[in-house]
Amino acid sequence: MPRSKPNNPEAPPNDSQLNEAMTETPFWKTKTLAEMSNEEWESLCDGCGLCCLNKLEDWDTGEIAFTSVACKLLDGDSCRCSDYENRQATVPDCIQLTLQGLREIQWLPPTCGYRLIDEGLDLYWWHPLVSGSSETVHQAGISARGRTISEEGLDVEDLEDYVVDWPMRVGEERD
Ligand code: SF4
Ligand code: SF4
């Protein structure tokens, strides 16, 4: 069964983005996704790491199931890509998330910053752009921190043993 992985930007929002978010009407409330700069687009990633988990697709139904098996380049603690710039060399099927791709992908978690904004919703308090901290996504229990194992050395045939539903449920009781 095929698997797919969109990108997980390597760096949390910078200080200017965080300051802007806290002092002015933030860009994600005034701009569409298509109007955002590359820097703004990248900063919408909350660093949850959920999209870097291996997924299985049912060939008959097209249904996607998450597993707790993470891409070999995902840092299971920070939930960031450990080699984002060069990731294609080791993970050629890592997808660069684009606006078009975002609308074609059906399995992005409901907490994903891109999905929230595209659906006309606001970012949650724990999003780094709102909280000013890259830790709150973990503190709120939204991220994959501490819940995964690496795909390194794992037989792809064994992925079915690691199917989980929490990536699509995390944050269900969020404020
Ligand atoms: S699911 Fe969305 S917010 Fe989370 S790491 Fe992936 S792109 Fe970023
Ligand atoms: S290479 Fe792996 S860890 Fe890095 S962004 Fe892609 S899926 Fe995530």
The string of pLDDT tens digits covering residues 69-128 is 999 999 999 999 999 999 999 999 998 899 999 989 989 999 999 999 999 999 999 999
Q: Return the closest-CA partner of residue 94 out of 156, 85, 41.
A: 85
* Ligand 1 atom nearest 49 alpha carbon: 5
pLDDT at 172: 72
For residue 2, pLDDT beyond 60: no
Query: Distance (Å, rounded) from C-alpha 156 to C-alpha 166?
Result: 21
Q: Per the structure block, which two tokens stand in for 109?
A: 């978690």
CA 173 to chain centre: 19
CA quadruple 135, 141, 142, 146: dihedral sign: positive
Determine which residue's CA is closest to atom 4 belonging to ligand 2.
81
Give me the residue spans of the domains in the chain: 37-168
Give 1's pLDDT tier (boundaries 50, 70, 90).
very low
Query: Distance (Å, rounded) from C-alpha 175 to C-alpha 87?
Result: 34
